[in-house]
Amino acid sequence: MGMGGCIGLIAVGAILTFAVDWHMDGVNVTLLGLILMAVGILGVCAYVSIFQRRRTQPPPPAAPVVEEEHRYTR
């Protein structure tokens, strides 16, 4: 689930929690909205955490070691 899906869950959860006034038998719509918002927030946190780990630059590779062999002739 990407960033858009997480934001969508937060939006749907907020709508169910704050803007809906109908009731269903056996379903607490307010609690369902809160759960959807919590899942969306956790998804955003996980996505940002993974995205930030991907953006970190690895250290540049060390210069290759060049060994020279000196031969002295007389």
* pLDDT reported for residue 19: 92
Q: Could you tell me what percent of the chain has a pLDDT over 90?
A: 45
What pLDDT, in 10s, does the model give residues 38-50?
A: 999 999 999 888 8
Structure confidence by residue, pLDDT tens digits, 16-35 = 999 988 888 899 999 999 99
What is the reported pTM?
A: 0.66
Q: Using the Cα atoms of residue 32, residue 38, residue 43 and residue 48 in order, give the sign of their dihedral.
A: positive
Exposure class string for 25-55: b at 16+ Cβ within 10 A, else e: eeeeeeebbeebbeebeebbeebeeeeeeee
Mean pLDDT, the chain, whole residue set:
85
Domain ranges, ordered by start, for the chain: 3-55
